[in-house]
Structure formats: structure tokens, C-alpha cells
Amino acid sequence: MSYPKTFQHIESKLKASNVPQQCIHCGTCRTWYQSQFWNPVCPSGEWKKFDPYYLSGKMQLAMGLIQGRIKWSKDIVNPFFECTLCGNCAEQCHVFETNGTRPIYELAIPLLEAIRRDAICNGFGLEAHKRFAQAIANKHNPYDEKHEERTAWLKEAIGDTKLSKKPDFVYFVGCTASYRQKNIAIATARVFKELGLNFTVLDDEYCCGSPLLRTGHWDLVSDIAKHNISEIENTGAKTIVTSCAGCYKVWSYDLTNEKYGKVLGIEHNLKVLHSVQLLVDLLNKGKLNLNSKVDVKVTYHDPCHIGRNLGDKALYEEPRKLLKAIPGVELVEMERNRNVAWCCGAGGGVKSAFPDFALWTGEERIKEALETGAEMLVSTCPFCWRNLDDSAKAIGAKIQVADLLELIEKSL
């Protein structure tokens, strides 16, 4: 038995932990077993129903591929890609080692990403993903928008105010907030400006690489990451702050040596913060004064990329602390929150390749939010925002979708 070349960055861990062998298809990955209500957790499985769409089925297929019992085909590819890679399945796995480590919990998502890469290397990929990979290659964003219009939102955000030439940090905006959810970029920049923070925005920011890493199109990641690192270093800043969960995961997690950094030849020493971390720090230091009342009942959606995907570095409490600090805001929790939050449905390349699946998953989340009686569903990820808003509109739900920074802006 030999692992494909695309597994090289995780091969030693897989061998040491006997993954995927240890998966015995028990199906514990399908429901939140710590809950007395046993809620479903897997969007892919709940959507498609058939076995290969749950983690256990994917592990079975992975095992078949690794052992050479099956070969890549269009049929085999599908279950691996019709999945948001939200990781809620792995979160449930209770295969334990005697030292307390949880090998499938730790390795399932890296394995699924490596499998996707292997599919691409064998000539099997999805057209939608190829299209956005090409757009990133040509125009540095997956939306095929003009690169020169990337910072078009900035004027609305800060008017004619000049950005710092010697910034303390770079606001890494990300493609979705730059081109689609400009409301988030605008609110974030306004908050930073209002707080008197010394920041800048890159003139020549490229996609962070998240869509490429998730969909197996790794070839471009190294070049765009190196470009972004160089651009950031040219500003003199040692810190980047992002309002995007996807960008945050790439910068703080994927581009580290122990994840993809080494295998892709990327190295950086930048300090990476999500905007909620920066703001909580300011709140703790008494430098963020939220004075204006915002009377609204909200529930908070944990994005996978700053939630369970980060393991013990997940940002669960920071956004909640900020919400609770806004006068007038009443925070109510959905049943599935924090590490077991139901995915928004957009991630893993699903929004572009499987739009119906993305909407269905988002609708499930909207319904859960409605059950809390909340008037507003708040999150901290432009991509979650997009899909949750689309989903709310699709079912005519009376709930407003907002980014946390938009609420912060109102409260300043």
C-alpha cells in the first residue's frame, strides 16, 4: 500500500496513526454525539443521503484508492468534492489513542484535501473550480473581476483619507469582501479608521489561495502567497489583520510549516489576526468604546475556518465577547454552535460547483437561526455572509444577515 504523492506532507502522520485504516465506518461522524438531541452535523451526507457522502464513506473510498482497489473516475470524484470540508464530521470522531490524541479528528480534513489534489493530478477536477483557478491565475481573484478594481470600495469606506505609509498592520481584505461583500470591507475599514488605527490596504493584493487549497488546485498557491508576503513586507508591517475567515485560516494555519508551508515552499513570519481578535484586544485595553445602542436580538454563526478547522486555536469566544459588549444586543445561541456549528454551505468549492447544495445547507442554518427568535444572524466571514444571505432570501426568511464589524461600526 502506498500513499499518493499528494499526501507527502501528511504521509508520516497517516502512517503513524493508521489513517484511514482506523476508520471502521461506525457513523459516529454523522451526529453530534455529545448532544442529548443527537443533531445531524454533516451537510454532505444529509444532502446526498448515500453513504459515500459521509466521512465514513469517504474514508472507505480513500482506502480503496490508496490500496488500488478502485481508480479515479468521475463517479469516484464526486463524493470528495460535493462536500464543504466543514470538518464537523471529524469533530465527532471518537477514535482515541491512549495518550488522548484523536487521529481521525486531526487528519481527516488534510486527508480529504490531499485526496482532492490527487484527483486533480489524475486529471479529474470540476469545471467550476478550474474556472476560478484560471481567474485567480489571470486576475488574482476567483470572481474573474478586474484586478485594478480590487480596492474600489475604499473610497466609500474612508473617503479621501490617506492610508498610512508606515502602517502597524495591513488590512488583508480578501476577494469576497473586495468584490462581493464590500459592506464588510467598508465597515471594517471605517471601524479601523474611527479607532485611529495605523493601517493600510495593499494596492496589489492577490487571492489568499483558500479556494485553490480547498479544491486541489495547489499549483498557484506558492506564487500568489509569495507575492502577497512580498507586498506586505514592502509596507514594513509585521502584522496582517483580516475580516475574512477563509483568509485567516490560510495565513495563520495553512501557510505554516507543519501544514502546507513546507510542501509548497512558503514561509512567513507575519503575525496574523482576525479583526475580532484585534478588536477584543482593544476592548480589553479599554480602547474600544461601544457606546451607541443597537437594539437587536442576534444569533452568531461560527465560520468553520475560524472555528473548528483551527482546533484549539479556534476563535469562538472573541466574537461573542464583542457582541455582548454592544449595548442593546441580545445574543442567543443556536443549538449547534462553536465546534459543532452547522456549516453555512459555501466552503470547499461547493458554492461554485454545487449551488443547490450550498443553498440547501444555508437554508438549514437559517431555519436553525429562526428557531432562536433572533432578528439578525451575525457572522465574521464574507463567504458565510454571502451564502447565508442567499439562503435566507431563497426561503423568504425574515432574518437579517450581518457581519459583526457592521454592528461594531453602528455601535461606535
| Contacting residues toward other proteins, per CB under 8 A | 1, 18, 20-28, 30-31, 33-39, 49-52, 56-57, 60-61, 63-64, 67, 70, 73, 75-76, 78-79, 93-102
The least CB distance from residue 68 to other proteins, in Å, is 13
The least CB distance from residue 15 to other proteins, in Å, is 10
The least CB distance from residue 89 to other proteins, in Å, is 12
CB of 117 or CB of 386, closer to other proteins: 117
Tell me whether residue 282 is exposed, middle or buried, using C-beta atoms within 10 angstroms of its C-beta: 0 to 12, 13 to 18, 19 or more.
middle
CB of 97 or CB of 148, closer to other proteins: 97
Q: Are 366 and 395 in contact (CB under 8 A)?
A: yes
Region of 303 please: left (phi>0), alpha (psi -120 to 50) or beta.
beta
The least CB distance from residue 340 to other proteins, in Å, is 13
**Pairing label, strands 296-300, 329-332:** parallel
The least CB distance from residue 79 to other proteins, in Å, is 5
Q: How far apart are CA 168 and CA 358, in angstroms?
A: 38
The least CB distance from residue 17 to other proteins, in Å, is 8
> CA-based Rg of the chain, rounded to a whole angstrom?
21
The least CB distance from residue 9 to other proteins, in Å, is 21
Tell me whether residue 51 is exposed, middle or buried, using C-beta atoms within 10 angstroms of its C-beta: 0 to 12, 13 to 18, 19 or more.
middle
CB of 51 or CB of 231, closer to other proteins: 51
CB of 61 or CB of 405, closer to other proteins: 61
Which residues are bridge partners to 31 per DSSP? 40
Angle between helices 182-194 and 275-284 (to 10 degrees): 30
CB of 66 or CB of 109, closer to other proteins: 66
CB of 124 or CB of 300, closer to other proteins: 124
Q: Where are the alpha helices (DSSP H) in 182-259?
A: 182-194, 210-215, 221-235, 245-249
Tell me, what DSSP letter sits at residue 163? P
CB of 18 or CB of 198, closer to other proteins: 18
CB of 70 or CB of 331, closer to other proteins: 70
CB of 35 or CB of 257, closer to other proteins: 35
Residue type, 342: W
The least CB distance from residue 310 to other proteins, in Å, is 22
Among candidates 194, 411, 245, which has minimal Cα distance to 323? 411
- Alpha-carbon distances of 168 from 175, 188, 199, 270, 279, rounded to whole Å: 22, 16, 6, 12, 15
Cell reading at 314 = 479556534
In the block, residue with C-alpha cell 496574523:
272
DSSP 310-357: GGGG--SHHHHHHHHHSTTEEEE--SS-GGGPPP-S-TTTHHHH-HHH
The least CB distance from residue 293 to other proteins, in Å, is 36
CB of 20 or CB of 303, closer to other proteins: 20
Cell reading at 182 = 464590500
The least CB distance from residue 360 to other proteins, in Å, is 12
Q: Are 156 and 186 in contact (CB under 8 A)?
A: yes
Among candidates 408, 233, 385, which has minimal Cα distance to 321? 408
